[in-house]
Structure 1
Amino acid sequence: MEFYMKLPRNKKEFTLFMMVISIISVNIIAPLISCFEVGFRMDVWEEALKIIPFIWVTVIALVLITYKPAGWMTGKIIEKDDSFAAHMVVNILCNVLLMSIFLTVIGPWIGNRQVSMEPMVLFFYKWPRNFAISLAVEALIAQPIARLVMLKLHQLKDRRLEVDNS
């Protein structure tokens, strides 16, 4: 029942779900990582906010690219009859793993407005921190809020359907 009520049922709902998650994630993760990189100062936060639209477009593209591989990975780890919570945790873990790998390299390119080898050279120093921040934000903030939005949307739709059928 939780799968039916807390996850998207169609493409329109998937779009809403993805928008909620990506907007929350990008607005928290990008400034946090930028501040860890350069320092927790207001000017750093302001600069991070300026690049958020570019990061957001990249995140949407990467979500669409990594959606099936992350689903495949999740299917290899989890059984169909495992709990909803188990499915969510493993799916978040797989999605964050793939997204953080790409964004640890692409994010600095966007933020610095130049393509360089530096993010690849420093990858194994920076990726664990980026992964941990992203995992925490996704698992504790973005995904729960998006699932709550889906639950409320489905409850509203179901109530409307009951009223229409009465």
Structure 2
Amino acid sequence: MEFYMKLPRNKKEFALFMGIISIISVNIIAPLITCFEAGFHLYVYQDVLTVLPFIWLSVIAIVLLTYVPAEKLTAKIVSKGDSFQAHIVVNILCTVFMMSILLTVIGTWVGTRSITWEPIRMFFFKWPRNFAISLFVEMCIAQPIARLAIHRLHLRMDSKVNS
């Protein structure tokens, strides 16, 4: 029942779900990681705001790129009979794992507005922090809010059908 009520049922709902998660995530994760890199100053945050739309587009593209592989990896780890929470936690872990690998490099390129070897050279120093920040934001903030929004949408839609 939770799968039916708290997750998207069609492409339109998937777009809404992905939009909520990506907007929340990008607005928290990108400034936080940048501030850890360059310092917690107002001018650093203002600079992040100028590239945030481009980072958001990168995130959307990478979500679409990693969606199917993350679903397949999730299916290998959990079984059909496992709980909703188990499926969600494993799916978030798989998705954040794949996305954080790509965004540690691509996000740096977009944020610095230059393609260099630096994010690849420093990957193993920066990726664990980026993964931890992303995992926390996804598990504790973005995904719960998006699932709540979808759940309320489904309750509203189901009440219209029943009345």
Which residue pairs with 2:148 in the alignment? 148
Quote the offset at 1:58 in angstroms.
Answer: 0.5
Which residue pairs with 1:99 in the alignment? 99
Which residue pairs with 1:31 in the alignment? 31
Q: Give matches, 1:4-83, under 5 Å.
A: 4-83=4-83
Which residue pairs with 2:3 in the alignment? 3
| TM-score of the two chains, using structure 1 as the length reference | 0.98
Q: Distance in 1 between matches of 2:49 and 2:94?
A: 27
Q: Distance in 2 between matches of 1:50 and 1:91?
A: 31
5+ residue gaps, structure 2, are none
Quote the offset at 1:43 in angstroms.
Answer: 0.5
Which residue identity is paired with 2:37?
Answer: E
1:137-156 CA distance string (max 9 Å, x none): 00000000000000000000
Which residue identity is paired with 1:13?
Answer: E
Which residue identity is paired with 1:44?
Answer: V
Deviating beyond 2 angstroms after TM superposition, the runs of 4 or more aligned structure 1 residues are none
Which residue identity is paired with 2:68?
Answer: K
Identity of aligned residues (%): 64
Quote the offset at 1:30 in angstroms.
Answer: 0.2
Q: Distance in 2 between matches of 1:11 and 1:106?
A: 27
Deviates more, 1:43-52 or 1:1-10: 43-52
Q: Distance in 1 between matches of 2:2 and 2:112?
A: 42
Q: Distance in 2 between matches of 1:4 and 1:123?
A: 38
1:115-159 CA distance string (max 9 Å, x none): 000000000000000000000000000000000000000000001
Residue aligned with 2:26, SS: helix
Residue aligned with 1:80, SS: coil
Which residue identity is paired with 1:120?
Answer: I
